[in-house]
Amino acid sequence: MAATAGFAGGWAARGVSDQPSADVAVPTAAVASASPALGTKGCPKPRAITSIKSNERVVALTFDDGPSAEVTGQILRTLADKKVKATFFMTGEHASAHPDLVAQIAAAGHAIGSHSWNHPRLDKLSPAQVTDQVERATNAVSAAAGTRVCLARPPFGLTTPQVDALSAAMGLTTVGWTQNPKDWLNPTPEQLRHDSAPWSDRPATILLLHEHGAEDPQQVGPSATAAALPGIIDDYLAQGYRFVQVTGEPFGSGRPSL
């Protein structure tokens, strides 16, 4: 994988070799301003998680494209009220604009991943461009969260073996989804709740949600998602589901990326 070796550095060297941060070149100002604890702990071995092989009723709620000044607070309050931990995949651009919200998400115990710098199709980019997008985003999100980010979701879920490998070289496990209720088409909260309900034939679920209701992922703002979330959670609880994060079991069975 020559392309991967050519871009080893920063998080990449750390993710692959677990070297202490003092031995690793720091690529951006965002990382330089992060907490001292940042990067002192390596990530688990990178994987590509696209499905869950489990018959257990578990669901991982995932929220993409934030954080959002209009929506994140409401989502966090609902998750706290329901005592549910979720996973947030944030763009570097939005995380840099709202580091306080990233810190709130981290402080509440939710899992955090990066979602590229500004949401291009990674499958259309050169290896150098992919690395730039993923590394800048991961550094920015990590800096704002005050902890090393070990998860990433490619924009639009569009990945390639090369994107997976480049991400893995940065220590990142890539995460897909199993259920997409298309909240970005701005449905009514009632429609979104209906489309998010558990599927009886596929008990283990990674549910894709967003912090906006627009087709343009650059937009953040009011959407059906925050309004529908309490009902979505209630529907899963009513069917005996357990809420999990993609960092925990049963997601440990993803195929190796390297």
Positions marked catalytic: 64, 210
Choose, by CB under 5 A, the member of 171, 189, 217, 254 that binds Zn ion: 217
Task: Single out the segment in contact with Zn ion by CB under 5 A; choices: 5-13, 19-27, 212-220, 226-234.
Answer: 212-220
Q: Does 211 contact Zn ion by CB under 5 A?
A: no
| Phi, then psi, of 256 in degrees rounded to 5 | -60, 145
Distance set, CA 64 to CA 77, 130, 210, 213 (Å): 17, 18, 5, 11
Least distance CB 116 / Zn ion (angstroms): 8
Task: Single out the segment in contact with Zn ion by CB under 5 A; choices: 12-20, 96-104, 149-157, 240-248.
Answer: 149-157
Choose, by CB under 5 A, the member of 64, 93, 135, 211 that binds Zn ion: 64
Distance set, CA 129 to CA 117, 171, 231 (Å): 11, 17, 40
Identify any residues that bridge with 113 across adjacent strands, giving them in sequence order.
Answer: 89, 151
Instruction: Give the count of beta carbons closer than 10 Å to the beta carbon of residue 46.
Output: 24
Q: Does 65 contact Zn ion by CB under 5 A?
A: yes
Smaller CB separation from Zn ion, 154 or 189: 154
From 105, 100, 35, 44, select the one nearest 77 (Cα to Cα).
Answer: 105
Q: Do 21 and 14 contact (CB within 8 A), yes or no?
A: yes
Smaller CB separation from Zn ion, 65 or 164: 65
CA distance 53 to 59: 12
Spacing of C-alpha 38 from chain mean position? 18
Least distance CB 258 / Zn ion (angstroms): 25
Residues 218-247 that bind Zn ion (CB under 5 A): none
Least distance CB 231 / Zn ion (angstroms): 23
Smaller CB separation from Zn ion, 155 or 181: 155
Instruction: Give the count of beta carbons closer than 10 Å to the beta carbon of residue 66.
Output: 25
Q: Does 183 contact Zn ion by CB under 5 A?
A: no
Task: Single out the segment in contact with Zn ion by CB under 5 A; choices: 9-17, 93-101, 147-155, 246-254.
Answer: 147-155
Least distance CB 92 / Zn ion (angstroms): 12
Q: What residues line the site for Zn ion (CB under 5 A)?
A: 64-65, 155, 217
